[in-house]
Amino acid sequence: MIVETNIDELKKRENSLKIIKGIIHSRGRNQLHDLTGLSGGFLLKKEDLNLLETYVGPALFEDQLQLIGKKHLGGEKILGVNRTSSGILATIMALVRPDSYVIHYLPQLPSHPSIPRSTKLIGANYLEFDNLKDFYIPDNTSLIVITGSTMDHQVITIEEFKEIIKITKSRKNHDPIDKYSQTYDEIPVMVDDASGARLRTIIFNQPSAIELGADLVVTSTDKLMDGPRGGLMAGKKYLINKIKSKAHQFGLEAQPPMVAGMVRGLENFNPENLLKSLEKKQKLLECLNKNFNGFELTPTGIMITPEALNSEIENRGIKILLSDNDISFTWAMILLREYGLVTIPSVGMPGASATLRFDLAASDAKNLKLSNLVEIINSSFESLLNVVDNPEKCQDIIFN
């Protein structure tokens, strides 16, 4: 395998950032097309800049975040954290006892690595389920996590969501972390709605996580909206207070510039724009189907999984010496290097999905003609076919 460890993933990411820098310097930002769907928007106003101080900023922006955050997610109290992963870590540190269980339900594996990793870090046990048939809650459980929409944009059904909440609420928390809290005998439910807070609600017309009975929800202000890469949490006040205290102790909370960016991103958020940008995806799929079998629609664009990509290449009679993920990484690096097209497999954090997703809700997607995108995908695939039987060359493309 070419990309095997977290360190390999880091090296790949650093190489991608170097390539991006090169493109910006030689060809300009507009020759770069970020279709990750993670825009890192920072829509600050001029007057905001003077207020980004350590203690002045929070006094203003945190208050605004309470108001606009509740409007977006519901809940009694809001907490801004550095990333969605930080919110998940802070929650697990605050609410989970060592040796107890964290139970995770998601519509389809794999889960986001921050959930099992945080659980392991504090010495608790982790079980994950992607179907109701197998789902159960061991006696010694301190936290239930539901993923509303996965990294690959698989969305939970509302029936599954309600069933997990129902099962959880029928159970008791036998050894709660805080016996003096008002609902000490309940097992809290946290929803990882990183993209789901917008995807589930706007595109799938589902109620918010809080409306469905969750105690806590975390979303990424970077996904399907123009905010910075940060995490926005909401939920029951006494739970948020515990999590906030942990977040402060370990430096996981969002800093004033991020909080300001989240506020402006939420102010700017318009569901109409999201719906409009999706009209193109069916057309894109039709164009690609002339050449491929493996592309599928996602709620916000199209994707091809590493396994489907492998079949595309095998079907063309080419012998494959790479792992499925490595093929996907190689294609992503060709897309970046030759066409300035940014996707998650090239720039993602270690553990991010290797699925190649082209997100049409991304703001750069508006400036890229559909015919150009089809042309880019077709010709970069030809480049991939030329190197895929040569692992050394692929390794070079990924790391150098």
Ligand X SMILES: *Cc1c(COP(=O)(O)O)cnc(C)c1O
The residue type of 189 is V
Q: By CB under 6 A, is residue 112 in contact with ligand X?
A: yes
Q: By CB under 6 A, is residue 119 in contact with ligand X?
A: no
Q: By CB under 6 A, is residue 151 in contact with ligand X?
A: yes
Cβ-in-10-Å burial (0-12, 13-18, 19+) of 341 comes to buried
Q: By CB under 6 A, is residue 195 in contact with ligand X?
A: yes
- Report which secondary-structure segment, H or E, holds 118: helix 114-121
Cβ-in-10-Å burial (0-12, 13-18, 19+) of 47 comes to exposed
Window 199-238: contact mask with ligand X (x via CB under 6 A): ---------------------x--------x---------
Of residues 189, 191, 194, 304, which one binds ligand X by CB under 6 A? 194
Q: By CB under 6 A, is residue 246 in contact with ligand X?
A: no
Beta carbons of 301 and 284 less than 8 angstroms apart: yes
Instruction: At 189, give phi and psi (nearest 5°).
Output: -110, 120
Q: By CB under 6 A, is residue 83 in contact with ligand X?
A: yes
Of residues 150, 277, 328, 346, which one binds ligand X by CB under 6 A? 150
Q: By CB under 6 A, is residue 104 in contact with ligand X?
A: no
Q: By CB under 6 A, is residue 380 in contact with ligand X?
A: no
Beta carbons of 287 and 370 less than 8 angstroms apart: yes
Q: Write down the least CB distance from residue 42 to ligand X, Å.
A: 15
Alpha helices in 177-323 (DSSP H): 196-198, 237-250, 256-268, 271-276, 281-289, 306-315
Cβ-in-10-Å burial (0-12, 13-18, 19+) of 134 comes to exposed
Q: Write down the least CB distance from residue 70 to ligand X, Å.
A: 21
Looking at 79-87, 93-101, 157-165, 355-363, which segment touches ligand X (CB under 6 A)? 79-87
Window 323-362: contact mask with ligand X (x via CB under 6 A): --------------------------x-------------
Can you say how many angstroms the Cα of residue 88 is from the centroid of all Cα atoms in its chain?
12
Of residues 8, 34, 48, 192, which one binds ligand X by CB under 6 A? 192
Q: Write down the least CB distance from residue 156 to ligand X, Å.
A: 11
Cβ-in-10-Å burial (0-12, 13-18, 19+) of 335 comes to buried
Interface with ligand X (CB under 6 A): 83-85, 112, 114, 147, 150-151, 192, 194-195, 220, 229, 349
